[in-house]
Amino acid sequence: MSVLPWVAGFLVLLVGIMLSIALHEIGHMLPAKKFGVRVSQYMVGFGPTLWSRVKGETEYGVKAIPLGGYVRLVGMMPPAPEGKETGQGMFGRLVAEAREQSNEEVRPGEEHRAFYNLPAWQKIVVMLGGPVMNLVIATVMIGILIVGFGQMQVTTTVGQVSECVPATVTVDTADDPECTETPVPAARAGLEPGDVITRYDGTTVTDWAQLSGLIADTGTRTVPVVVQRDGAEMELTVTPTVVEKQVDEDGAGEPVLESAGFIGFSPLQERVRGQWSEVLPLVGDGTWETMKMVATLPVRIADTARQAFTDEERSVDSVQSVVGVGVILGDGFAVLDDMTDKVAWAVGILGSLNIALFVFNLIPLLPLDGGHVVNALYEAAKRALHKVRGLPRPGPADVARLTPVTYVVFLALLGLGGMLIIADLVDPVRIT
């Protein structure tokens, strides 16, 4: 099989991630400049600079490693409190160096333009600007997917009549059916591809979920079926057979089989365009599900590692790195024939990826945006308490003291990201 779909998948993912990151950093930069903070650099990527241009007081550029980006806000950390001695040891040196690097760009007489001098609410706006930008991107992409392309929905139109009755009906039945009888009831009844089922056993059919339930509950009774064929209504009779059908999973994630009526045809799928009113609820649902995943991230990462490096099957909802997302994009490009479907597939995945970036950046740990938000909230609470107690207004929160924690979190994220990349190379989640 050609590798071109996967190459295309990774290229689309790379471009999508870089654009998302570039817009994320704009979300930080614009409010920072609005509030008077000097922004010395806006960079897409890390490592050596490939191209840059100074416009006004900001250097804009692209770096060699396309795996991130940043804006340099002058004065992120306040100077050491007056009279406070520099700490000793490795951690003390880390804190001192962080303060020095943060303040070396603060020009004499422009201390008021340092980020640390912003009111707490402005700091929160600046730090939330990036994640909110990702949420806006996700909303636009999901809107394009729902309203522009439409979602694939199963219809009540016969797509293909099965060749035989399988012993059990599961998600893998179509790949390797174990036949028990031929022909299938649908063929004996005279159902043909293109027939639109409008009534089943006297009940008007409105969607596939309803029809599927009616068929499952029929048992082996002979029932009338009304279809539209070539613009005309036609009444047929069908006698379903009974098979063991996978309907759900138990609490342990094991398949549950139940006896159900079976006719033997695959419904046709088609794109159905939605309304803009559907977009925000879908984004909300996606955000909530992502938040639940992040809340259980340590457990999910452990499960992913166990599945990837043992004989256990990799779960389709396991945590993935950018490599895993690229594989899924490539799988979609490989199995989808229509270019519209390929583009819609990419738009949907990039929309979901931006929801993940929104939620992940809100984790309340430095160096993530959520950590800076928590620090600003602490500063606001401390100042409010001092005001109530009639005490002098305290200075900015000394975020530099958290530098060792920032390094630990950064290294942990780097290690976990590396482990997930290896897992996705060894045992990626596949959709084919």
What one-letter code names the amino acid at 152?
A: M
**Strand-pair partners of 368:** none
Structure tokens at 166: 């399988």
Number of Cβ within 10 Å of residue 4's Cβ equals: 11
Q: In this structure, are residues 241 and 165 in contact, taking their beta carbons and an 8 Å threshold?
A: yes
Q: Name the residue among 244, 243, 235 with its Cα closest to residue 189.
A: 235
Phi, psi of 366 (to 5 degrees): -70, 145
Strand 203-204 relative to strand 255-262: parallel, antiparallel, unpaired?
A: unpaired
Burial of 386-400, coded b for 16+ CB within 10 Å and e otherwise, reads eeeeeeeeeebbbbb
Count Cα atoms within 13 angstroms, Cβ side, for 287.
Answer: 18
Peptide linkage before 367 cis (omega within 30 of 0): yes
Which candidate in 25, 249, 270, 289 is catalytic? Answer: 25
Pairing of β 196-200 and β 203-204 = antiparallel
Q: Is 57 a catalytic residue?
A: no
Active site positions, annotated: 25
